[in-house]
Amino acid sequence: MTKHSFLYLVLFSMFFITGTAYSQVGNVELGKTYTGIYQRQGGYYDYSDPEAVNMKVSVWGFIKYPGRYLVPDYTTIIDLLSYAGGPTDDSHLDDLRLYRVLPDSTEQMFKFNFEDLLWENQIEVENRTTPKLIARDILIVPGSPKLYFKDWFRVGIQIFTAMISLTLLIIRINASK
């Protein structure tokens, strides 16, 4: 095997390995930028009860199915999180926020912890109140994306192949002089 055929074999294998890291890009919609993390767009979900008064609320942030929900007026925040598919691994459950616009156009925000919601009946704290959902409430589940081993590996392979390509380019330029 000659020196050049070995270099071409190395280049081909590196481009093949890098190409498999980009194989998920084909699922990206037109006009969208691929960020390496698949993010679901919001939708409209109907969990209404024909026997009850229903209201529209929204859930946004690091949950499985963000969007607007039509739910019965007896729905709790825990129920709403369940309808939304639950929080993702990236969510910060100690900082849930409920935004509410009052009839006099003022805005109100409630911060609470998911653990307080789960164990509400067993925890006794005087000034802790978990708000009841009303129409037009917006529940925000904050969070931050986490990188897993496969993400770090993909970045490492891309940097490695770029360095190999640059090295081969420099060798090729020096060989042609």
119 plus 159 within the same structural domain: no
pLDDT of residue 150: 87
- CA–chain centroid gap for 103, Å, is 32
In a domain, 176, yes or no: yes
161 with 134, same domain?
no
Residues sharing a CB contact under 8 Å with residue 149, sequence separation 6 or more, in sequence order: none
Tell whether 92 and 175 lie within a shared domain.
no
Burial, 96: exposed, middle or buried (Cβ in 10 Å; 0-12, 13-18, 19+)? buried
- Say whether both 119 and 93 belong to one domain: yes
% of the chain surpassing 90 pLDDT: 42
**H or E segment at 67?**
strand 67-72
Burial string for 72-89 (b: 16+ CB within 10 Å, else e) reads: beebebeebbebbeebee
pLDDT range class, residue 175, cuts 50, 70, 90: confident
| 7 occurs within a structural domain | no
13: its two tokens: 């294998």
> pTM of the predicted model, to two decimals?
0.60
For residue 158, give the nearest of 41, 20, 4 by alpha carbon.
20
Q: Is the pLDDT of residue 43 over 50?
A: yes
pLDDT of residue 62 exceeding 70 = yes
Average pLDDT score over residue span 123-145: 79
pLDDT of residue 84: 93
CB neighbour class for 57 (10 Å; exposed up to 12, middle 13-18, buried from 19): buried
Determine, yes or no, domain membership for 53.
yes
Q: What is the mean pLDDT of residues 92-113?
A: 89
Clarify whether residues 157 and 120 are in a common domain: no
Supply the pLDDT for residue 40: 55
84 and 162 co-located in one domain: no
Task: Please tell me whether residues 76 and 152 are part of one structural domain.
Answer: no
Whether residue 51 is contained in a domain is answered as yes
Instruction: Please compute the mean of the pLDDT values over residues 45-60 and round it to a whole number.
Output: 93
Q: Find the domain containing 50 and state its range.
A: 43-141
Q: Residue 28 — very low, low, confident or very high, per pLDDT cuts 50/70/90?
A: very low
